[in-house]
Chain A
Amino acid sequence: CPARTVLRLATALPGPPGRAAGPGQDRHSDHGQGQGSARPQPLDPSLLRFLVCPLSKRPLRYEEATNELINEELGIAYPIIDGIPNMVPEAARTTQKKPPAEGSKQP
Chain B
Amino acid sequence: MAAAGLCPCRALLSGRGGALRALCGAVRGLAAGPETHFGFQTVTEAERREKIYQVFESVAKKYDVMNDSMTLGIHRVWKDILVHKMNPSPGTLLLDVAGGTGDIAFRFINYVRSARERQLQRKLKNHQNLSWQEISESYQEDKFKLLGDSQVVVCDINKEMLKVGKQKAQHLGYSEGLSWVLGNAEELPFDDDKFDVYTIAFGIRNVTRIDLALEEAYRVLKPGGRFLCLEFSRVSNPLLSRLYDLYSFQVIPVLGEVIAGDWKSYQYLVESIRRFPPQEELKAMIEDAGFLKVDYQNLNSGIVAIHSGFKL
| Residues 62-107 (chain A) with a chain B CB within 8 angstroms | 78, 81-89, 91
Taking a contact as CB atoms under 8 Å apart, the answer to whether A17 and B182 are in contact is no
Residue in B170, B189, B191 with the greatest tally of chain A CB atoms within 10 Å:
B189
For residue A54, CB closer than 8 A to chain B, the reply is yes
Which bucket holds chain B's interface residue count? 20 to 34
For residue A46, CB closer than 8 A to chain B, the reply is yes
For residue A39, CB closer than 8 A to chain B, the reply is no
Taking a contact as CB atoms under 8 Å apart, the answer to whether A52 and B163 are in contact is no
Taking a contact as CB atoms under 8 Å apart, the answer to whether B189 and A54 are in contact is yes
- Give the CA-CA distance A21 to B168 in the complex, in Å: 11
Nearest-neighbour CB distance to chain B for A86, whole angstroms, equals 5
Taking a contact as CB atoms under 8 Å apart, the answer to whether B181 and A54 are in contact is no
Taking a contact as CB atoms under 8 Å apart, the answer to whether B189 and A52 are in contact is yes
**Could you tell me the dominant secondary structure of chain B's interface residues?**
mixed
- Give the CA-CA distance A30 to B187 in the complex, in Å: 30
Q: Taking beta carbons and an 8 Å cutoff, which residues of A are in contact with B?
A: 17-21, 25, 27, 30-32, 43-44, 46-47, 49-55, 57, 59, 78, 81-89, 91
Q: Which of B75-83, B172-180, B274-282 contacts A (4 or more CB under 8 A)?
A: B172-180
Taking a contact as CB atoms under 8 Å apart, the answer to whether B191 and A31 are in contact is no
Point out the residue from B166, B169, B190 that lies within 8 Å of A50, measured CB to CB: B190
- Give the CA-CA distance A17 to B239 in the complex, in Å: 51
Taking a contact as CB atoms under 8 Å apart, the answer to whether A88 and B182 are in contact is yes
Point out the residue from B153, B176, B191 that lies within 8 Å of A17, measured CB to CB: B176
Q: Which residues of A contact B174 (CB under 8 A)?
A: 21
B 224-250 binary contact with A (CB < 8 Å = 1; else 0): 000000000000000000000000000
Taking a contact as CB atoms under 8 Å apart, the answer to whether A46 and B179 are in contact is yes
